[in-house]
Structure 1
Amino acid sequence: MNCPKCQSTKIIKYGHTHYGKARFRCQDCGRQFVENPTRQPIDEATRQLIDKLLLERLALAAIARVTGVSERWLQMYVNQKFDNLPKQVEVSPKKRVFRV
């Protein structure tokens, strides 16, 4: 078995998940993983749909129901999007027009 992150073979058993599957840990990079994961990452098409629904200002619970993702994952995704936004807003001065 190899680490999915660094491909190292220095793998140790590291307990069990709350689903009862064996958890492993890479001794080189510290990555924790299960051997045959049943839960797959959210695909790019679903992420794009979520982005569109967020622009429509739908409730997170509604977006989670429509897309089939968990509310917890969706909240983490939104928080990550917010963290990636620039923290300072660029404001350009407005042209002043003088009327007589």
Structure 2
Amino acid sequence: MNCPKCQSTQIIKYGHTHYGKPRFRCQACGRQFVEDATRQPIEDATRQLIDKLLLERLALAAIARVTGVSQRWLQMYVNQKFYQTPKTIEVTQKNQVG
């Protein structure tokens, strides 16, 4: 078995997930992973759809149902978007004619 990040073979058993699958840890880079993981990262197309649905002001529960993501992941995604938005607005003076 190789580390998915650095391809090292220095792998040790590192407990279990809450689903009962064995967890492993790479001693070279510290990456933790599960062999044959069933959960995959959310695709960019799904993230773009979520962004569009958020602009339509749909409820988070509805967005989670439509896209198939968990409500917990969606809430963390929305919080991350919120903290990345700038909090100040720059206003420029308009030139007065006449």
TM-score, normalised via structure 1 length: 0.86
Q: What is the aligned length?
A: 98
Relative to structure 2, which stretch is displaced further, 8-17 or 80-89? Answer: 80-89
- What fraction of aligned residue pairs are identical, expressed as a percent? 82
Equivalent residue for 2:22?
Answer: 22
Give deviations 1:74-98, integer Å, cap 9, x for gaps: 0111122222222332222234456
The SS at the match of 1:13 is strand
CA distance in 1, matches of 2:87, 2:11: 40
Query: Which residue of structure 2 lines up, in the alignment, with residue 62 of structure 1?
Result: 62
The root-mean-square deviation of aligned C-alpha atoms, in Å, is 1.6
Q: Which moved more, 1:77-86 or 1:46-55?
A: 77-86
Q: Does 1:48 align with 2:32?
A: no
Distance, in Å, in 1 between the alignment partners of 2:66 and 2:97 is 49
* Structure 2 residues not aligned, in runs of 5+: none
Q: Distance in 1 between matches of 2:10 and 2:91?
A: 52
Runs (5+) with no aligned partner, structure 1: none
Q: Supply the distance in 2 between the matched residues of 1:8 and 1:83 (Cα, whole angstroms).
A: 35
1:4 and 2:22 matched: no
Does residue 92 of the first structure (1) align with residue 96 of the second (2)?
A: no
SS of residue paired to 1:3? coil
Give the Cα separation in 1 of the matches to 2:89 and 2:81: 16
